[in-house]
Amino acid sequence: MDYTGIPVISATGLFTPEDSITNEELVASFNAYVERFNSENAEAIAAGDIEPLQPSSVEFIEKASGIKARHVMAKEPVLDPAIMAPRWPERPDEQLSILAEIGVKACRQALERAGRDVADVDAVLCAASNMQRPYPAMAVEIQDALGIDGFGFDMNVACSSATFGIQTAADYIRAGNARSVLVVSPEITSGHLNWRDRDSHFIFGDVATAVLVEDKAIAPEQHWEILGTKLKTVFSNNIRNNFGFLNRAHPESADAPDKLFVQEGRKVFKEVVPMVATMICEEADKLGIDPQTLRRLWLHQANAGMNRLIAQRVLGHEASDDESPTVLDTYGNTSSAGSIIAFDLHNADLAPGDTGLICSFGAGYSAGTVFVRKVG
C-alpha cells in the first residue's frame, strides 16, 4: 500500500439534534423559575437572608454572545422550570450509549461523503469535552458500532478537543502508523450546563461532528491538505467543571454549582483573544503563510465578539461573514464541535488552492490551529 505521510481532511460529518430552543423560549422558562423561586422564598428574601434571583433577558443574551438559539437532545425537560436539565431513559449496557449514537451518526456521514469503506479505517479518536463515562472509552464503542478493526481512545481538551484530535490523527498519518482516522466530537453540553445560572444558561447547545483525517494516497480527489497544526495549553481556573467520581469523597458538596460548567466570562474573553490571535499569526509565519491571505477562518464558536476581534487581528481588517462564518447564532457554543460545524457548513464554495484555518480555544486554557488548503 502507498503512503505519502501527508495528512489531509477527506470529509466531515455533522449530526444536528432536531429540537432547538430559541432565546425567547429559554428566557421565558428561566424567568418562570426565577419568579417561582422568589415567591417560594419571599420571607427569607424580605428578611435579607437570601438574595432574590434576577431575570434573564433575550436582548442581553444576543448582544453579549451572538447566540439566538441552540439545538438540544431533550427540549421539554430543559424548558420545564421544575426540572431545567436534560432527561431520557437510562439505557442498558447492551444498547448503544446516547453519546456514541450521535457520534456514530456524524461518523457515518463523513465516511459516506469520502466514499470510505470502514474496512480501510484504522482508528477512532473520540475528542470531546463531555464524555458520558470514564470507560470503556466512548471511542471504542463508536469503533465497534461502525465495525472498524483497529483501535480507539478518548481525549478531552475541552473546547479544543477536536483540533487536538486532528493533530493527533495527522501525526499518526505522518508517522505511517495509520492511513485513515476518524476524529469524532459528540457534545451533549446540555448535561453539563447549569440551566439555572443566569450568567451561563444561554451558552451551550448539543451536536456531534466527525472529521476523517487520511493519508493523501487514499484520499478522495477533493480534500483539504493539512499544511500545519499547532497546539497550546496554559493553565487557568477561569473555565472549570469539578464534576467527577472523586466528588463521592465530598458528598456535602455533590450538588454545588461548581460540579457543572462555571466561568469568568469577561476574563476568558480578555485573556484568550490575544493568546489565540498571536498563536495564529506566529504559526502562519512559520508555515510561510501571510495571515492576511487566509481565505476563510473557521473559528471556535463561543462568542461573536471574540471571533470578531480574533479575525480582525489575524486578517488586518474587519472580517466579513464570508471570511469568518458564524454558526453560533443557531447552534450556540457546542464546545469542541463549533469550529468543525463552521468548516462543515462553509467550505464547499472555496476554490482549489484556497487556504483557510480551523481554530478552537477554550478551557485549560487550550487552543489549537489547523491550517488547510483545498485540493481538487
Residue 128 binds ligand COA (CB under 6 A)? no
Q: Residue 33: enclosing H or E segment and its boundaries?
A: helix 23-40
Residue 239 binds ligand COA (CB under 6 A)? yes
Q: Are 324 and 303 in contact (CB under 8 A)?
A: no
Judge whether 159 counts as a catalytic residue: yes
Q: Least distance (Å) from ligand COA to the CB of residue 21?
A: 14
Residue choice 266, 321, 349, 351 for contact with ligand COA (CB under 6 A): 266
Residue 268 binds ligand COA (CB under 6 A)? yes
Q: Give the whole-angstrom CA distance, residue 259 versus residue 266.
A: 21
Q: Which of residues 285-304 bind ligand COA (CB under 6 A)?
A: 302-303
Q: Residue 32 or residue 375: which is nearer to ligand COA going by CB?
A: 32
Q: Least distance (Å) from ligand COA to the CB of residue 201?
A: 7
Q: Are 231 and 167 in contact (CB under 8 A)?
A: yes
Residue 198 binds ligand COA (CB under 6 A)? yes
Count of residues binding ligand COA (CB under 6 A)? 21
Amino acid at the residue 212: L
Q: Are 328 and 67 in contact (CB under 8 A)?
A: yes
In angstroms, what CA-CA distances link 298 with 110, 176, 324, 325, 359? 18, 28, 6, 7, 6
Binding mask 20-39 for ligand COA (x = CB under 6 A): --------------------
Q: Which of residues 66-125 bind ligand COA (CB under 6 A)?
A: none
Q: Least distance (Å) from ligand COA to the CB of residue 136?
A: 27
Sign (positive or negative) of CA dihedral 159, 5, 14, 296: positive
Angle at the Cα of 33 from the Cα atoms of 30 and 39, rounded to 5 degrees: 140
Amino acid at the residue 78: V
Q: Residue 38 or residue 57: which is nearer to ligand COA going by CB?
A: 57
Count of CA atoms in the C-beta half-sphere (13 A) of 362: 29
Q: Residue 152 or residue 362: which is nearer to ligand COA going by CB?
A: 362
Q: Which of residues 140-179 bind ligand COA (CB under 6 A)?
A: 159
Residues 6+ apart with CB under 8 A from 349: none
Q: Which stretch binds ligand COA (CB under 6 A): 38-46, 262-270, 308-316, 342-350?
A: 262-270
Cell numbers at 130, concatenated: 463531555
Q: Which stretch binds ligand COA (CB under 6 A): 57-65, 78-86, 95-103, 277-285?
A: 57-65
Q: Give the whole-angstrom CA distance, residue 307 versus residue 321.
A: 11
Q: What is the dihedral of CA 113, 334, 166, 342, to 10 degrees?
A: 50
When CB distances to ligand COA are compared, the closest residue is: 265
Q: Residue 84 or residue 239: which is nearer to ligand COA going by CB?
A: 239
Residue 265 binds ligand COA (CB under 6 A)? yes
Residue choice 37, 60, 151, 243 for contact with ligand COA (CB under 6 A): 60
Q: Least distance (Å) from ligand COA to the CB of residue 121?
A: 30
Q: Residue 153 or residue 269: which is nearer to ligand COA going by CB?
A: 269
Binding mask 319-358 for ligand COA (x = CB under 6 A): --------------x-------------------------
Residue choice 7, 17, 291, 362 for contact with ligand COA (CB under 6 A): 362
In angstroms, what CA-CA distances link 330 with 72, 79, 130, 333? 11, 17, 20, 9
Active-site position among 107, 126, 159, 359: 159
Residues recorded for the chain: 376
DSSP 36-104: HHHHHTHHHHHTTSSPPPPPP-HHHHHHHH---EEE-S-HHHHH-TTT-S---PPPPTTSPPHHHHHHH
Q: Least distance (Å) from ligand COA to the CB of residue 33?
A: 12
**Which 8-state DSSP code applies to residue 3?**
-
Residues with a catalytic annotation lie at 159
User: Residues interacting with ligand COA, by CB under 6 A?
Assistant: 56-57, 60-61, 64-65, 159, 198-199, 239, 263, 265-266, 268-269, 302-303, 306, 333, 362-363
